[in-house]
Amino acid sequence: MLEREERKPYWRHTKLQMLASLVPFILLIVVLPLYAQELNSNKFLGFPLGYFLAGHGLWLMAIFTLATFVNRQDAIDHWHGANEDM
């Protein structure tokens, strides 16, 4: 159960977690494809590196971002007593 005085710290913590999860990911999504051509001269698993990172890499990054978010946000919920009581 979330105590009244815990509301503000909980929401501040949640906002920081949201920004920590979204800002680096969105920056990466916008910036990485711009350097794909330069990265393509390298190889990874037989793929041109820029192509691999823009497709497979950003997909794995999205999964990693959401997995860490779910884990960290759940920890925040428990820390402040805001978690579901199921």
Partner 1 sequence: MANTFRTRLVNPRLGTYFGIFSSLLVALFLVLLILETLGTSDVFLRLGVLSVPLVLFAVIAISSFTRESGEYFAAGRRVPSAYSGLVLAISAIGGTGILAWTGLFFLNGFDAWCIFLGINTGLVVMGVGVAPYIRKTGAYTVPTFLARRFQSRLLRVTAASVFVVPMLLILTAELGMGLWAAGLLVDLSPLVLAAILTVVIILTVGFGGMRGLGWVGTAQAITVLIAIVVLAAMIGVVATNFPLSQFSYGPVLRAVGRLEVAQQIPIHKVSAFTFGLAGQGLEEVTRRFATPYGSVGPASFALATLSIAAGVAASPWLLPRNGTTVGVYEARKSLGWAIFFVGLVTLTLSALAVFMRDIVMQELVGRTAGDLPSWFLTLREKGLMDVHSQTGALSMMNFSFKRDGVLLALPLASGFPAIIGYTVLIAAIAASLAAASATIYAIATLLSEDIFNGLRWDPPADPFRLGVARIMSVVVMFLGIAFVAVVKTDPLQLFLWATGITSAAAFPIVILSIWWKRLTAAGAVASILTGFTIAVLAILARELVWLPLPSALLGVTGVLPAFIVAIIVSKLTPIPSKDVLEQVRDARVPGGETVYDRELRLHRLQKNASKS
Q: Rule CB under 8 A: which residues touch partner 1?
A: 1-2, 7, 10-11, 14-15, 18, 21-22, 25-26, 29-30, 33-34, 36-37, 40, 43-48, 50-52, 54-56, 58-59, 62-63, 65-67, 69-70, 73-74, 77, 81-86
Q: How far is the CB of 25 from partner 1 (least distance, A)?
A: 6
Coil, helix or strand at residue 44: strand
Please answer whether residues 19 and 85 qualify as being in contact, where contact means their C-beta atoms are separated by less than 8 angstroms: no
Q: How far is the CB of 43 from partner 1 (least distance, A)?
A: 8
Q: Which helix (H) or strand (E) holds 10?
A: helix 7-31
